[in-house]
Structure 1
Amino acid sequence: MKLYFFCIILLFTGSLSVFSQNKEYEVVVSELNNPWGYTFLPDNSMLITEKEGKLIHFKNGIKTEIGGVPEIYLRGQGGFMDIELHPNYNVNGWLYFTFASSEGKGSGGNTTLMRARLKETQLINQEVLYKASPNSTKGQHFGSRIAFDAENHVYFSIGDRGNRDENPQDITKDCGKIYRLNDDGSIPKDNPFINKKNAKKAIYSYGHRNPQGMEINPFTSEIWSHEHGPQGGDEINIIAKGKNYGWPKASFGINYSGTKFTDKTFILGMENPIHHWTPSIAPSGMAFISSDKYGKWKGNLLVGSLKFQYVSRCILKGNTVFKEEKLLKDIGRVRSIEQGLDGFIYVGVENLGIVRLLPQ
């Protein structure tokens, strides 16, 4: 009888728990198609982006669709992507999100960074802070993750948009870059290419393929990012101001056809990844464990795998991935990972929802 009432209570909380002590997770938000990004509001409720173009507020087991979402260009890997709160959200109420937009020059779409405020169930005060150009009808490599540093600079990534031979190595062109802006969208005066003629002034680093993970390391304050390689050569990088990360001149990957596009994995003057995967795991989402909820796992880096459908627990020694352990094996395509306000790790899984990683 006690078990019966316990199950009834669970049904009303909106959380499908996994009861066995051998299980690794519990489902917190069910029935999501592609939870590309999510963030936690001060009351511990969640704002969740669905790639198809929906913004969902989840609180007390109830999902509410938010109105006023900008028009989303949905094509291939492009859609509604990441979302983050301003570090001073309690004061200014600003939300930041990235999405594919068809506004601007050319047909197709490209990645946009916008900020807005949430009033009840509507987005208001929308401001486009950056729009990559030109648009492209190609369906790949939109990026895009968002991170804030201690000075409230906003960083965001845009992939090379499938144009590897022109965009990533050219600082006069958007795409294949990580960008840095002030929180109001203005260009920081100490950005690395601010005085470079014809350069895109928002660029912070370049030579990237398709970064879909980015976090500020809470222990060192460094910017860590990972990106998709082609066939092989997925990378973890520590992002430094003005540096060139090599794509496509240096890579551990090859063409999908099996042919080579470069014979170099290292070029003097370009940055090496601190870790790479071959075969590719197709990384998306990343988070550091900085809470005490998981014991000795504190300080580990978590990276999601779309291809092999697990979370990689990367055990670090300094800036080296010393060892990896597969968590949540075969759970589904892992799209996003965040540490919540409660210190627990939450993982967004395509066609499942958002799950809470249970301490083992």
Structure 2
Amino acid sequence: MFQRGIAATLALAGLLALPPAGVQAQTIGSSAGRVQAMVLAEGLDHPWALAFLPDGRFLVTERSGQLRIVSDGAIGPPVEGVPAVVARGQGGLLDVTLARDFEESGRLYMSFSEPAADAGMDSGSGTAVLSARLDLSGERARLVDQQVIFRMNHFDGSTRHFGSRAVVGNDGNLFVTLGERGTAARAQDPQDLAGAVVRIAPDGSVPADNPKPEGWAPELWSIGHRNPQGAAVRDSDGALFAVEHGARGGDELNLVRPGRNYGWPEIAYGTNYDGSPIGVGQAQPGLEQPLHFWDPSISPSGLAFYEGELFPAWNGDLLLGGLSGQLLVRLDMEGDAVVGEERLFEGQLGRIRDVGVGPDGAIYLVTDADNGRLIRVAPEGE
């Protein structure tokens, strides 16, 4: 499987498998044997997401508002044509994902915190999604044919809980995860797109087969989410999985089904930051339970299914990063059930913001820091 939606040849996979000379390396033991993390590039400004270009290069977003192309350890100049972002708090330039026909169309999608003035709103900011074509024909890469295809329907002045992953489903439609912007009650308002997962067509329209619970906004796929910062689609059946931050304890992995309510802030595993209870407890009829939760929190961000030849024992398992946990997590999956958890590189690589699986079968990470890094994880010697 090629994460984020494009196929790659073995020749292109070979390009990703060759790290530049002089890289930093760290090796640990794991259930798959000795595993090595190699720094491919550093000097990124709080990188938030990565994607794999068909020619073996990487696209990386920086939260401060730049989209970069990384090649052979070198970080290129900012791609031209990136929209203005509100780079405050947790906001900024967030996810980047490629359309399934990217090799023909050059089409990509980016989520970002949009200034109110650009959205025709009165004040504040909100999560938006841009569709654009990546033009690599000139001396400098640029985005063309840009269009904002989605934005939250209520902007505010908060700098917290934007989400926001954008992942392409098996049918080409997009899932976009949205945080509740720090106002928990918004996640239970079915007319507010905050604290939800939305599903939109590539042009931003609403797919005809979206769920239609009474009173729900048409874009909604699910509600009751706090701050989902990782999402992945399972190729075998198109199922959507997402990880979200809890408050104090209670980070969650959810299988996100259409028309379901995932409970925040009515139910939660964990407490408020002052130690007080959240909602009515850990369960309530009509509200979904997570597949897995973390207490204490690890602040999960970035999520990918592993399919590849380098770690055959891990095929079908989920990989995710931890921000406060500073670790890479492998969840052993049997169908929809989590049957085990393995923690890798704990405290060694920094705050892991995104995780992807490249066409070479290696695992790629970006770390959230002023001097952020792009890291390749593979069996020792590969």
Sequence identity percentage:
34
2:344 aligned residue (327, 333, 336) = 327
SS in 1 for 2:379: coil
Q: How does 1:312-351 map to 2 (within 5 A)?
A: 312-330=329-347, 331-351=349-369
Partner secondary structure for residue 168 of structure 1:
helix
3-state DSSP of counterpart to 2:313: helix
Distance 2:22 2:266 in 1: 47
1:172 alignment partner AA: Q
- Structure showing greater relative contact order (alpha-carbon pairs closer than 8 Å, 6 or more residues apart): 2
Where does residue 263 of structure 1 map in the other structure?
A: 280
RMSD: 1.9
Residue aligning to 1:36: 48
Question: How far is the alpha carbon of 1:15 from its aligned partner?
Answer: 6.3
Aligned partner of 1:245 among 262, 283, 297: 262
What's 2:25 paired with?
A: 18
- Asked whether the equivalents of residues 27 and 37 of structure 2 are also in contact (C-alpha less than 8 Å), the reply is no
- 1:140-289 matches, cutoff 5 A: 140-165=160-185, 167-193=186-212, 196=214, 199-289=216-306
**2:39 maps to which residue?**
27
1:95-106 equivalent positions in 2, closer than 5 A: 95-102=108-115, 103-106=119-122
Gaps of at least 5 residues in structure 1 are: 1-11
**How far apart are the structure 2 equivalents of 1:224 and 1:250?**
19
Residue 78 of structure 2 is aligned to residue 61 of structure 1: no
Instruction: Summarize the Cα distance change of 1:315–1:257 in structure 2 as closer, same or farther, 3 Å threshold.
Output: same
TM superposition shift of 1:19:
7.7
Residue correspondence of structure 1 range 88-127 to structure 2 within 5 A: 88-102=101-115, 103-120=119-136, 121-127=141-147
Q: Distance in 1 between matches of 2:284 and 2:316?
A: 31
Offset from partner CA, 1:176-227 (integer Å, 9 cap, x none): 010101111111112113x855x42111111110000100123442101010
Change beyond 3 A, Cα 1:75–1:292 = same
Report what 2:326 is aligned to: 309
Q: Which runs of 5+ in 2 are unaligned?
A: 1-18, 29-33
The Cα offsets for residues 79-112 of structure 1, whole Å up to 9 and x where unpaired, read as 1100000001122221101000113323221100
Q: Any conservation in 2 of the 1:42–1:90 contact (CA below 8 Å)?
A: yes
How far does residue 134 in structure 1 lie from its aligned partner after superposition?
2.1
| Moved beyond 3 Å, runs of 4+ | 12-15, 19-23
Q: Which moved more, 1:345-354 or 1:331-340?
A: 345-354
Do the aligned residues in 1 keep the contact of 2:35 with 2:379 (CA within 8 Å)?
no
- State how far apart, in whole Å, the 1-side matches of 2:21 and 2:170 are: 35
The 5 Å alignment of 1:134-145 reads 134-145=154-165
* TM-score, structure 1 as length reference: 0.92
Q: Provide, for residues 308-327 of structure 1, a one-character-per-residue CA deviation record: whole Å limited to 9, x for no partner.
A: 20111111222222221111
Distance 2:36 2:164 in 1: 28
Give the distance between the partners of 2:239 and 2:51, measured in 1 at CA.
21
- For 1:201 and 1:225, the matched residues in 2 are separated by 20
Would the alpha carbon gap of residues 162 and 14 (structure 1) be closer, same or farther in structure 2, given more than 3 Å must change? farther
